[in-house]
Structure 1
Amino acid sequence: MSAKRFLIAAFLSASAFAGADVHIDESIPYRDKEEIDNRIVSECLEVGSIMSESLRESAAKSGVTVVRDGLKQDTYADIAITSAMSAGNAFVGHAKGLAVSVTLYIDGKQVKKTTLSRNSMGGMFGGFKGSCSVLNRTAKVLGTDLAKWIIQEQKTAQAK
């Protein structure tokens, strides 16, 4: 087998094993805005898009393409923020948290469903950060968690 044919065969094999593109919303929505503190919804406007972009970036590092187009077709993850908490402040300490529900669909069929959450007290120099800044950082980490979960479940489904 020539080197060129070998490389083509290796590429095609790797492509077949790699999961299909995963579609998600451009910005992860709140499941029900009425259940979320109005101050979070009206002031922390980037939480959903930060989470979505973090998910895309984290998945890309593992070779999985996440498309932020909101299409509910083929392989997609239906994700919604179910809870957001923002207590405390820079002076007394932050207590922030986000929870999401996620359902993974492959070929339009539900494969797996779960909930994930993250909490933060502001981290290093938290006293110098605003509430939305802490929630945005929490959303970024939760996006990474979502990517890991989606990748694992996609691999598990492919192995079946």
Structure 2
Amino acid sequence: MKRILTAALCFSTTSVFAATPVLLETPVTYAPDASVVEQIKNECHIEDMLTQHVSKVLRKINHGGDGTIAAQTDAGDARILRLQITHVLGVGGGAWSGPKATTVSADLIENGKVVRHTKINRWSVGGVWGAFKGSCSILDRTTIVISKDLSRWVRDPSYEIKDEAPPKEASAPTAQAESASSVDAE
């Protein structure tokens, strides 16, 4: 009985280590029609944040390596995760200028063909000390959450990433403006 259990354990652990690796295609790029304030794009380098955080989670999934592969490089038997930044909501002024958001389009590529696609949109107001953070550090929080979402998404084909609603703070100015205009109308 012990031999059967030992053999089963060995086979199950080898299949975990033999799983097809997933590598992040670098560089992470902006979509041609990406909506992003040029100042934020130049100062924050969202593409570098995503590369850092996503490659870190892929290293864990792959049990080693650096988790990345240069674009146009032969991936061998590895699957490729291609990210494009499609939208960044944020201007200077940190938390004082409102919530920040990052939207990314993700493709999982196997043997040169897209086998899965998703869009991820994550928001942040900066957390507990948000009022003392700059726009770039708040946007970095969104890329960390995106990397965690992608970690689960690449491992579990049944996992669907749901759109995240904007925080209450994002809709507060609009609601205030509407109530102010209704007061003016009276």
Tell me whether the two structures share a fold, i.e. TM-score over 0.5: yes
The gaps in structure 2 that reach 5 residues or longer are 160-186
Which protein shows a greater Rg?
A: 2
The gaps in structure 1 that reach 5 residues or longer are 156-160
Distance 2:42 2:17 in 1: 43
Is the CA contact (8 Å cut-off) linking 2:124 and 2:138 kept in structure 1? Answer: yes
**Aligned-residue offset at 1:62:** 4.5
**Aligned-residue offset at 1:43:** 0.8
**Aligned-residue offset at 1:138:** 1.2
**Cα–Cα, structure 1 residues 145 and 91, in superposed 2: closer, same or farther, change >3 Å?**
closer
| Relative contact order, higher structure (CA 8 A, sep 6+) | 1
Residue 15 of structure 1 corresponds to 17
> Following superposition of structure 1 onto structure 2, how do residues 51-130 of structure 1 map, counting pairs within 5 Å?
51-62=50-61, 67-70=67-70, 71=73, 73=75, 74=77, 75-87=79-91, 89-90=93-94, 92=96, 94-130=98-134
Residue 39 of structure 2 corresponds to 39
**Cα–Cα, structure 1 residues 15 and 88, in superposed 2: closer, same or farther, change >3 Å?**
closer
Give the secondary-structure state (helix, strand or coil) at the position aligned to 2:126: coil
Residue 149 of structure 1 corresponds to 153
Distance 1:126 1:101 in 2: 26
**Cα–Cα, structure 1 residues 24 and 60, in superposed 2: closer, same or farther, change >3 Å?**
closer
Letter in 1 for 2:125: M
**Aligned-residue offset at 1:28:** 2.2
Instruction: Give TM-score, length-normalised by structure 1.
Output: 0.75
Distance 2:117 2:67 in 1: 20
Q: Comparing 111-120 with 86-95, which one deviates more in the overlay?
A: 86-95
Percentage of pairs with the same residue: 26
Letter in 1 for 2:137: S
Residue 29 of structure 1 corresponds to 29
Distance 1:12 1:90 in 2: 47
Give the secondary-structure state (helix, strand or coil) at the position aligned to 1:31: strand
Instruction: Give TM-score, length-normalised by structure 2.
Output: 0.66
* Deviation string, structure 1 residues 18-57 (Cα, Å, up to 9, x no partner): 2x11121344221137632101111112x22222222233
**Aligned-residue offset at 1:60:** 4.2
* Deviation string, structure 1 residues 121-144 (Cα, Å, up to 9, x no partner): 111110110111111121121111
**Cα–Cα, structure 1 residues 55 and 127, in superposed 2: closer, same or farther, change >3 Å?**
same
Q: Over the residues paired in the alignment, what is the CA RMSD in angstroms? A: 3.1
